[in-house]
Amino acid sequence: MKFCQQPESIIALSPILNAAMNPLLDFSGLPRFAEFKPEFVTPAIDQLLADCRAAVARAEAADTPAEWDAFVTPLEDANEKLGRAWGQVSHLHSVMDSPELREVYNACLPKITIFYAELGQNEALFAKFKALKARPDFAELSGPRRKIVENELRDFRLGGAELQADKKARFMQVQEKLAKLSAKFEENLLDATNDYALFIDNAAQLAGLPDDALEAMQAAAKADGKSGWKITLHMPSYLPVMQYANNRDLREQLYRAYVTRASELGKPDFDNTALIADILKLRREAAVLLGFNSYAEVSLAAKMADTPAEVLKFLDELGVRARPYAEKDFEELKAFARDELGITDLQSWDTTYASEKLRVARYSFSDQEVKAYFPEPHVLAGLFKLVETLYGLHIREDKAPVWHPDVKFYTLTDHSGQRIGQFYLDLYARASKRGGAWMDDVITRRRKNGGIQTPVAYLNCNFSGPVGGKPALFTHDEVITLFHETGHGLHHLLTQIEEIGVSGINGVEWDAVELPSQFMENFCWEWDVLKHMTAHVDTGEPLPRELFDKMLAAKNFQSGLQTLRQIEFASFDMHLHDDFDPNGGRTALDLINDIRQQVAVLIPPAYNRFPNNFSHIFAGGYAAGYYSYKWAEVLSADAYALFEDEAEGYGGVLNPEVGHRFWSEILAQGGARPALESFKAFRGREPTIDALLRHNGMA
């Protein structure tokens, strides 16, 4: 549900609740991050919740007619303020975590959860929406408004609005517990990651690591008042060890620490094992209360895929296509490790290292060599030039209050200088920031008070920052990640929909939401894009065409293994939420071990505790939805194929005409119509898997 925002007419009386004093209550512009204090959170959220409940009471009153302006708009106005305030708190909890912020976040989370659970079960509002749909003039509402009503009716049913009173109460308890457990899961994972540090004084133990990684580790040790090098489990520190360290024992030591995070094999305070069991039991209970057989069925009710069986069939068919390539990849890697590296028993802590060595041997380049050509300023300039070329837009750095000195802020304008949207860019890893990369919304486009509210987004990554006076350098994989998150950001920022419930990413089916992000990744393999975004960090020379051709030749290096890995995770997720019995004698670890026997070609060691750090499905909203990465990849590859089809006649894939068509039919539509309709409007037909297989070298 996307409802509840403080009405404009309500004026706070208490000084701490005045917008001038409490920045969380100021919705006149961008968030006032520079003034944020944890003590602002509770009073602001309490007031906004009270305002929301007052708005709900007015909307559900018998004398409030079942008309859009009478009850939907006031609810949207109320909800937006609560969403924006809590969104700031949640964002800071993810990127600048502290004991003080964590305490107030966890204190307010149950209040937020209960409110939305109550809203989802509100029979009076449910009846109002049904009455609105039944009105003779319902067809006269705009398409986006009709879609919002349809979504709300579905979400009321999924929220338990049709349950009996006793079941409603239990359903609400379940939702509250699930919210707490998911938050705790993420906190445990962050704490377990931060808790580990390995200090090394002997440089010989770090042989093979590139200079920039060593400099960063040395700086980390110095920051702790120690000599030598500090290695952590944050990706910018962990990955170089796994990829380059000649010391096999060191790789195994780091690997074991990484894959046992937040498990019973580490500190008990950070163990997620019991949380996983409880989350699965509660999700199954919630599904049964709603009349579904499994949580997977609940999850798919709002997605493109119809049933768990359909998803599993899709994954199985893709797995059958990928498996011969994965087996070939693995046999080549084992032979190379044996013959060239002297590793006769290839293990999980060897594969990243051996793969990098094999790639260098086969294609005569390394990730480290490529990385030198991708300094941050040139990468951003190339990314922005792509957006300008495809959509006729301009991106310029701007000023705004930020939560950390490393954060940058940008404004997106059209050819006339009109502001289209804005976004924050937080690129670097730090101890207070959760892992991974993600986009989130700050402000959503909507028509309000006669004008358009321009959208704002957060783009977050976890890359290595500048070292030794040089700009941050990105691997090509990190460039792809940045393009991916920018694709999500453009989906939010370039919407033309003016109704908040289906504007931007709102209302988009979860298994289609990755389409714009994965679509953007394709441009990272285009010479006409890369030549504008590279300059060697020392010489300033652009990426040589010869090196690019080697990268292109290596594009599908081990794509079979990578595809099977994603299928392994997606199958585990879907089975876990469909036919796995959380109340039986087996565990999630048992299940993934079974899945690996069926899917994987490299079985990790028995101590691997992947479920304990699989935050996507236990804390990140991807429960029974992890398959969407591969599902949407079919859509994105097929969409990009139109740029390829038109390239010969235009002289390249950077075709503004096709770009504007993609904008108008995909990005601009938001969730105002089903994703399949938007895809067909762009492509002129249903999606096919052919382009995906071709792009992955598995045609």
DSSP string for 378-395: HHHHHHHHHHHHHH--EE
Asked whether the beta carbons of 157 and 123 are under 8 A apart, the reply is no
Paired sense of beta strands 456-463 and 419-428, if any? parallel
Q: For residue 465, what are its two tokens? A: 């920052």
Q: Report which of 45, 158, 169 is spatially closest to residue 109, judged by C-alpha positions.
A: 45
- Separation CA 114–CA 316 (nearest Å): 39
Query: Which residue type occupies 394?
Result: H
Answer yes or no: 485 catalytic: yes
Question: Do β-strands 394-398 and 408-413 pair in parallel, antiparallel, or remain unpaired?
Answer: antiparallel
Lookup: tokens for 425: 């860019």
Dist. CA 308–CA 297, nearest whole Å: 7
Closest by alpha carbon to 182, among 87, 114, 103, 282? 282
Which of the residues 152, 176, 485, 633 is marked catalytic?
485
**Cα–Cα nearest to 141, from 76, 66, 79:** 66
Query: What is the number of alpha carbons within 13 Å of residue 528 lying toward its C-beta?
Result: 11
Who's near 640: CB < 8 A, 6+ residues apart?
519, 522, 653, 691, 695
> Structure tokens of 391?
């959509």
**How far is the C-alpha of 204 from the C-alpha of 206, rounded, in Å?**
5
**β-strands 408-413, 419-428 pairing:** antiparallel
Contact 381, 408 (CB under 8 A): no
Burial of 541 (0-12, 13-18, 19+ CB in 10 A): exposed
Q: Per the structure block, which two tokens stand in for 94?
A: 């993810």
Angle between helices 376-391 and 476-493 (to 10 degrees): 40
- Secondary structure in 3-state letters for 193-254: HHHCCEEECCHHHHCCCCHHHHHHHHHHHHHCCCCCEEECCCHHHHHHHHHHCCCHHHHHHH
Closest CA to 88 of 67, 68, 104, 66: 104
The beta-strand segments (E) located in 291-434 are 394-398, 408-413, 419-428
Buried residues in 87-98 as b, exposed as e (16+ CB within 10 A): bbbbbbbbbbbe
Contact 10, 51 (CB under 8 A): yes
Count of C-beta atoms within a 10 Å radius of residue 546: 9
Catalytically active residues are 485
